Amino acid sequence: MGCHEAMEIPERASQGFLLAATVARDRGAIRAEAGVAPEVCTAWLSAARAFRQLERGSRDQALAGMAVEPPLTAVQLATVRPRVACLLATRAETTAARPLLARGPLPRPGYVAEPYLLRLLYRCVRAQAAAETQNTADGGAES
């Protein structure tokens, strides 16, 4: 199988591959190698093989860090509806984000959102921020 090295691969995609190989008990992604696209195989397989060499405690710690989604920033939260910002308060990156989060009321006093709702809102905000970043990189063209 031929590998290309020119493609830049997002870190989260590489981590996702590593997590999938771990869940499948495919240490070093040996079984997965045949199905890995040439554009990503060098990065993904070398990461999987390096991960295989770690001590168990280090592997466990690295997996735990990969499984945590990065917190939302104040900039990302500034553009969402007030109630969404309030619900996502626990994912705020810094105390600078707290004033933005206080601008929207909870649906009712003491309301605790279901974890699946928070994950969905989080992903929507991250996708919106990524789209805006791409739009800016493309020169501000409307999509």
pTM: 0.52
Are 61 and 85 members of one domain? no
Are 85 and 130 members of one domain? yes
Given pLDDT bands bounded at 50, 70 and 90, which one contains residue 69? confident
Are 53 and 102 members of one domain? no
Given pLDDT bands bounded at 50, 70 and 90, which one contains residue 143? very low
Predicted confidence (pLDDT) at residue 73 exceeds the cutoff of 60 = yes
Are 96 and 132 members of one domain? yes
87 and 117 in contact (C-beta within 8 Å)?
yes
Which runs of E-coded beta strand occur in 12-102?
A: none
pLDDT of residue 103: 67
Predicted confidence (pLDDT) at residue 72 exceeds the cutoff of 80 = no
Predicted confidence (pLDDT) at residue 52 exceeds the cutoff of 70 = yes
115 and 87 in contact (C-beta within 8 Å)?
no
CA distance 77 to 101: 8
CA distance 19 to 67: 8
The domain tally of the chain equals 2
Predicted confidence (pLDDT) at residue 8 exceeds the cutoff of 60 = yes
CA distance 121 to 91: 11
Structure tokens, 53: 């060499």
Cα of first residue to Cα of last residue in the chain, in angstroms, is 37
Are 78 and 31 members of one domain? no
| Three-class SS state of 102 | coil
Question: Mean pLDDT across the chain, nearest whole number?
Answer: 78
